[in-house]
Chain A
């Protein structure tokens, strides 16, 4: 199987990636190669259900507020801020 350029563009849109024409061409063949390789899993019939990594147990704690406000600290990493808010481009048209 080989992915079409349109398929690669569609995945890129979903993944919020902007690709150059060269990248699209490159991913067409590289992703197709990997997808072909992983298709070998179809050989395995009959399986044991989903995986759970660890025997997790419930962790209980009292319903108390323990976190301190860290607004300044966290905003320090944001590229654009205004007051105590992070500034982003407008989502709606005026």
Chain B
């Protein structure tokens, strides 16, 4: 073994299992304070493809041998900005899960309590940032997969507006919901990372949009005077951990004291979000995952007797339980005779959700909610009950259904010392207000400076 790297950020060992492949690189955090990514280490969720000697696996056996012949657009942009990739982080297989327990290739634990999950699906990226291994990480967020692990691991997690960042090179799960997202210890760092990867990619992603790109760090004025903050009453429901609710309500009071106007608002169709999500997401996933056939790349079972047998054997051995469950569900809701009752119906109610947000955003600038109903749960606690696992995403899914920018910011700790996250959602393309509010709140606390292992 060589002597310890001179760089502070690379001395930590991967004690949480954050990485599937950790690269041996030299990096420095120096430039980050000035809003630059030059030589700055960034961890990458292994669902984002990188063209190098390491595989891009999506934490699935079916992609375990796959080496990408191309870089994702976000990777290309990070390289252009001078960032250093520290490795590929663990996730739920194909980003399907809320705990990273569905990874076929590794186990990641919560840096704050090793008996608990880091959240998911971008659990490895969240753990890498929380444990101090990398100051920044990229993830993907289809139903909360950046914000929920950020909340569980006590870091900042941001999902930009759908279309703000190119999806080219993100292994597809549900294409109308997927979006790249960022992790950091501070809102300012997340703004720097967003700046580097934002922008249209008309050659490769037809859903990326040519919107003006503001200077996101400049939006962090610390000023929330006159800001209209809405508290949607449907996000404060029975079953929510009392400390989580208290943290969010306290945050509302603090924003008010800083000059914001806080009002209660209503988004009555919120309760249908998970039902909509569990039609649209598996439907799109089952179509996207039809490409894994054992023919062109990835795992292939050699001793199959026919072409059909090649498909069946490869997919049987290559896909894990949750992936199969979602392919089955998606195939069912798209099958002849059921399309109208499920997919079409879900798309129709989804449009109601979007309209409801549009109406509310005529009166408020930003919405304040909990990120998750509870803090991190125990490893194994929900694995036998898929529906219960799904309901954990109730507060994060609506922003994906409506394509809105949303952030999770550390909001203190519960009695067990586990991080609490609060969520801010904004209008489409208005990342600035979301980041400004998050930054103003963050600057009144020192939670982002706390690390796992500090005396509490």
On A, residues with C-beta under 8 Å from B are 8, 11-12, 14-19, 23, 27, 30-31, 33-35, 37-42, 44, 47-51, 53-57, 59, 70, 73-74, 76-80, 86, 88-91
With a cutoff of 8 Å between Cβ atoms, the chain A residues found around residue B354 in the complex are: 48, 51
Cross-chain contact A15 with B331 (CB below 8 angstroms): yes
With a cutoff of 8 Å between Cβ atoms, the chain A residues found around residue B266 in the complex are: none
Known A8-B328, A31-B329, A51-B347; judge A88-B307 contact (CB<8 A).
yes
The residue of chain A having its C-beta at the shortest distance from the C-beta of B164 within the complex is A54
Cross-chain contact B206 with A59 (CB below 8 angstroms): yes
The residue of chain B having its C-beta at the shortest distance from the C-beta of A73 within the complex is B69
Tell me the bound Cα distance from A86 to B309 in angstroms: 17
Cross-chain contact B272 with A40 (CB below 8 angstroms): yes
Closest Cβ of chain A to B124, distance in Å, is: 24
For A78, give its contact among B295, B313, B386 (CB under 8 Å): B295
Closest Cβ of chain B to A63, distance in Å, is: 14
Closest Cβ of chain B to A49, distance in Å, is: 6
Q: In this assembly, does B315 line the interface, its C-beta being within 8 Å of a C-beta of chain A?
A: yes
Q: Which of B254-262, B275-283, B410-418 makes up part of the contact surface?
A: B275-283
Cross-chain contact A14 with B331 (CB below 8 angstroms): yes
The residue of chain B having its C-beta at the shortest distance from the C-beta of A15 within the complex is B331
A8-B328, A16-B290, A88-B307 given; 12 more Cβ-contact pairs under 8 Å: A17-B312, A17-B319, A18-B313, A38-B278, A42-B345, A48-B354, A51-B350, A54-B207, A76-B67, A89-B304, A89-B306, A90-B306
For B69, give its contact among A30, A70, A90, A91 (CB under 8 Å): A70
For B342, give its contact among A30, A38, A55, A90 (CB under 8 Å): A38
With a cutoff of 8 Å between Cβ atoms, the chain B residues found around residue A11 in the complex are: 328, 331-332, 335
Tell me the bound Cα distance from A15 to B345 in angstroms: 22
The interface size bin for chain B is 35 or more
Cross-chain contact A15 with B279 (CB below 8 angstroms): no
Known A14-B331, A14-B335, A31-B329; judge A44-B69 contact (CB<8 A).
no
Closest Cβ of chain A to B398, distance in Å, is: 13
On B, residues with C-beta under 8 Å from A are 66-67, 69, 162-163, 176, 202, 206-207, 209-210, 269, 272, 274-276, 278-279, 286, 290, 293-298, 300, 302, 304-313, 315-316, 319, 324-325, 327-332, 335, 342, 345-352, 354-355, 386-387, 390, 403
With a cutoff of 8 Å between Cβ atoms, the chain B residues found around residue A57 in the complex are: 210
Known A11-B335, A79-B294; judge A41-B352 contact (CB<8 A).
no
Tell me the bound Cα distance from A34 to B272 in angstroms: 13
For A37, give its contact among B275, B295, B297 (CB under 8 Å): B275
With a cutoff of 8 Å between Cβ atoms, the chain A residues found around residue B274 in the complex are: 37
For B387, give its contact among A27, A33, A51 (CB under 8 Å): A33
